[in-house]
A and B are shown apart, each in its own frame.
Chain A
């Protein structure tokens, strides 16, 4: 692999670690905490080496209590700090939903801007790595339904680093979900040093004209695989990484559908009420004139995500299921 000057090939968890390091270095208000983030450096090593470098006041372990962590972080943010809280797995955000729904998203609004919450909550999510029960959940739709928060799910190391730094600078509360499958599953060139990427932009990761695949996080890779297979048969699929779910970059999605006339939305959460339904609804509202087929969703089934075994593969969307959906929209 050719490494340009000023970039190195690293994986997504290393990119996250770099971003955290740079944020701590740059802004003394940044504090990092969660379960096992200190000495151990986090269960995925996202905060590896940061406690020795910045001390226990800025990088610390908390008691094992998610509502406590998020509530504590909210208070710290209101009082002038820039907390970055880690929830060990997104499936363990549930005990903190009270804090999230009751306050995180509405504190700015209910105090007319007097108290704001510049907070980032990071959590690994998603399957494909055979984790125990509840470790692979994708609760992004629940989070997207909270007014006042932003939700970002990067799909590459380079995007993860720049977006995490942007999230930490952002004046609003941000959920930053990291696909576990991608942590060590992809490596790419990542610029050195501090840089931010704009929040609220979708990006075209592969151009095509036959149909648009819309995905985010761990599903972008799956869609790219599907697009490669389709290309062998002469079908050029466009692949879009939605990347920021709230605020969603609807214009970029509409623009692509205007070109291709067909869309398949891919996500690994349960299908009903999932974020893909939101994308499909927006396309129905804003791109109906261009659509030549109904928008089709490929998602997890309406069942709990199965724990670490071969059955996981029956649940998580793969290239084969994506291609079946592509056939459906092409043949409509």
Chain B
């Protein structure tokens, strides 16, 4: 099975790039935006201003490339905890994401114009749900697709298979994106499964499976765009395997030194998706130092504003924990609400 690539490890185009100059520039910007958030989020985490945070460093292109094909008010995104980069690109406000990783109720849920379901924490449960979302969109005659993300480890769960089977049987307009980053916490892919390529699993469901260089934004974008077009045309789901690497630790409380070598991570850093994309722009004469500096400043300003906004969110109030359990509070929530409210109704 081939791996779809458009850029070499330095970003030099290997063949004709099916994207406009404008698209290439906006793609690079989206990558840098995601990276900037990730770097700064880790700092906030170390300052105790975020809770446990799952960084995505190294996996930006695999997420951004898919999100760039989606329309947030029309299409749907069902991400796992690893997909903050996809969420940013899909239109989630940065302040909301900061609150979300603070586990602050104010950060739970997306604004009405963004069809993103809150990050899924249990592994693989989102896949059958995404199939259902996609099928419902189709039944309602909407020109919309859903995209669901999962890790290589997650493909071992039963729900991954039930979800793929449902999506394929019902020709649901769904993109199933597996970020194969080589590891499920400390367990390497070789101990997770016998198959070499996760994309091969698509054959078991009679749907197309593609392996793409997940650190090549042009490749991910192109593959996802094709899968989305297929889905919109009513031809059903596609399984996309993005080969990438989690350069960062599994979460802010993980120590990767216990299970992998520094050499391995170093080798992947040489294939960094952002460096490669910048290489591509430089090669095409679309980028320079000046633009890079301006972008950095813009992103930092945007991030600082978002932190300020997040800091201004009102403190969670005790009684919020029994709100939104039901559409209307039932007697047991009412009693708890009253107690948490200090007796005042």
Contact = CB atoms under 8 A, between A and B. Distances in A.
Interface string B96-120: 0000000001001110100001100
B133 A75 contact: yes
B105 A72 contact: no
Given A71-B132, A74-B129, A102-B125, A62 B166 contact: yes
Contact of A111 (B118, B326, B332): B118
B165 A68 contact: yes
A200 B330 contact: yes
B122 A102 contact: yes
B132 A79 contact: yes
Contacts of A148: 325-326
A31 interface: yes
A81 B139 CA distance: 9
Contact of B331 (A110, A111, A250): A250
Interface string A109-121: 1111111100000
B253 interface: no
A72 B132 CA distance: 4
B20 interface: no
A114 B113 CA distance: 11
B110 A71 contact: no
B135 A108 contact: no
Interface residues of B, number: 40
Nearest to A147: B325
Interface in A74-116: 74-81, 83, 95, 98-99, 102-103, 107-116
A98 B169 CA distance: 22
Given A63-B166, A68-B165, A247-B331, A78 B117 contact: yes
A78 B120 CA distance: 15
A198 interface: no
B236 interface: no
B137 interface: yes
Given A68-B165, A115-B117, A148-B326, A76 B105 contact: no
Contacts of B324: 108-109, 112-113
A99 B327 CA distance: 20
A75 B330 contact: no
Interface in A42-91: 57, 62-63, 65, 67-68, 70-81, 83
B8 interface: no
B134 interface: yes
A76 B108 contact: no
A86 B112 CA distance: 31
A106 to B, nearest CB: 8
B325 A80 contact: no
Nearest to A62: B166
The residue among B122, B166, B169, B332 with the most chain A CB atoms within 10 A of its own CB is B166
A70 B128 CA distance: 8
- Dominant secondary structure of chain B at its interface with chain A: helix
A65 B135 contact: no
A312 interface: no
Interface residues of A, number: 45
A257 B166 CA distance: 50
A172 interface: yes
A272 B231 CA distance: 50
Contacts of B327: 108, 116, 170-172
B118 A110 contact: yes
Contact of A76 (B109, B133, B169): B133
A113 B109 contact: yes
Interface in A142-185: 147-148, 150, 170-172
A107 B109 CA distance: 9
Nearest to B168: A63
A247 B108 CA distance: 25
Nearest to A105: B325
A71 B159 contact: yes
B140 A247 contact: no
A76 B323 CA distance: 24
Contact of A31 (B117, B127, B139): B139
Nearest to B165: A63
Nearest to B169: A63
A111 B110 contact: yes
Interface in B122-172: 122, 125, 127-137, 139-140, 146, 158-159, 162-163, 165-166, 169
B117 A74 contact: no
Nearest to B321: A109
Contacts of B323: 109
B110 A98 contact: no
B100 to A, nearest CB: 10
Interface in A168-208: 170-172, 200
A248 to B, nearest CB: 8
Contacts of A113: 109, 324
Given A111-B110, A171-B327, A81 B136 contact: yes
Contacts of A103: 122, 125, 129
Interface in B167-191: 169
B108 A111 contact: yes
Contacts of A110: 108-109, 118
B135 A76 contact: yes
B76 interface: yes
Interface of B: 76, 105, 108-110, 112, 117-118, 122, 125, 127-137, 139-140, 146, 158-159, 162-163, 165-166, 169, 323-328, 330-332
Q: Return the 3 tightest CB-CB contacts between A and B, nearest first.
A: A75-B132, A71-B128, A68-B162
27 contacts: A62-B169, A63-B162, A63-B169, A65-B165, A65-B166, A68-B166, A71-B129, A73-B132, A75-B128, A75-B134, A75-B135, A77-B132, A79-B136, A95-B158, A98-B122, A98-B159, A99-B128, A99-B129, A103-B125, A108-B326, A109-B324, A111-B118, A114-B118, A115-B109, A172-B326, A172-B327, A247-B331
Given A71-B127, A75-B129, 6 more contacts: A71-B163, A76-B135, A83-B132, A110-B118, A111-B108, A112-B324
